Amino acid sequence: MSRLWIMRHGEAANGVPDSARRLTPRGEREAATMASWLARHSQGSELAVTRIIASPFARAQQTANAMGEALGLEVETLGSITSEGSPQAFCDWLIEQPGNLLVVSHMPLVAELTGLLVAGREDQGRAFPTAGIAELASEVWAGGCAQLVRFTAP
């Protein structure tokens, strides 16, 4: 059974363009807190995160880099997982991916993706606080096939 951690970026400052918005000091602390938590709970087991995939937006990259530093992993960028991204398109991509992935993205995509994978419906996802992480387990990453293991927030 594989694991997927779906994470919303830390708190970001207002600004334009949206893609350039950066983490606030609070957002940096949130990312650091969750990085430490995930490192303690996943490293050294078969549940360890093996890849980090992030949105190209600045706040997601900053959050993912904090996670990568704590987990000893490089961050991979996937342009299609911004706030307007398609949960189904991501699932189509995900089904071909090996390992246990941490995905750092944005609302509403993180909520819609969680709803699609767990309940089979994008509108069944939950709201994510900044830096919140949903941990999912599944044999196959398709709609309605995953189990929500836990939800953690700073």
Binning pLDDT at 50, 70 and 90, where does residue 19 land? very high
pLDDT confidence of residue 1: 86
Mean pLDDT to the nearest integer, 1-30: 97
- Least confident range from 26-30, 95-99, 108-112: namely 95-99
Mean pLDDT to the nearest integer, 122-150: 95
Average pLDDT, the chain: 95
Asked if residue 51 lies in contact with residue 101, where contact means CB atoms within 8 angstroms, the answer is yes
Asked if residue 99 lies in contact with residue 50, where contact means CB atoms within 8 angstroms, the answer is yes
What range does the domain containing 54 cover?
A: 2-152
Q: Say if residue 136's pLDDT is above 90.
A: yes
**Number of independent structural domains in the chain:** 1
SS3 assignment for the chain = CEEEEEEECCCECCCCCHHHCCECHHHHHHHHHHHHHHHHHHCCCCCCCCEEEECCCHHHHHHHHHHHHHHCCCEEECCCCCCCCCHHHHHHHHCCCCCCEEEEECCCHHHHHHHHHHHCCHHHCCCCCCCCEEEEEECCCCCCCCEEEEEECC
**How far does the chain reach from its first CA to its final CA, in angstroms?**
26
pLDDT in tens, 36-72: 999 998 776 778 999 999 999 999 999 999 999 999 9
Category of 44 on φ-ψ map: left (φ > 0), alpha (ψ -120 to 50) or beta: left
CATH of the domain at 82: 3.40.50.1240
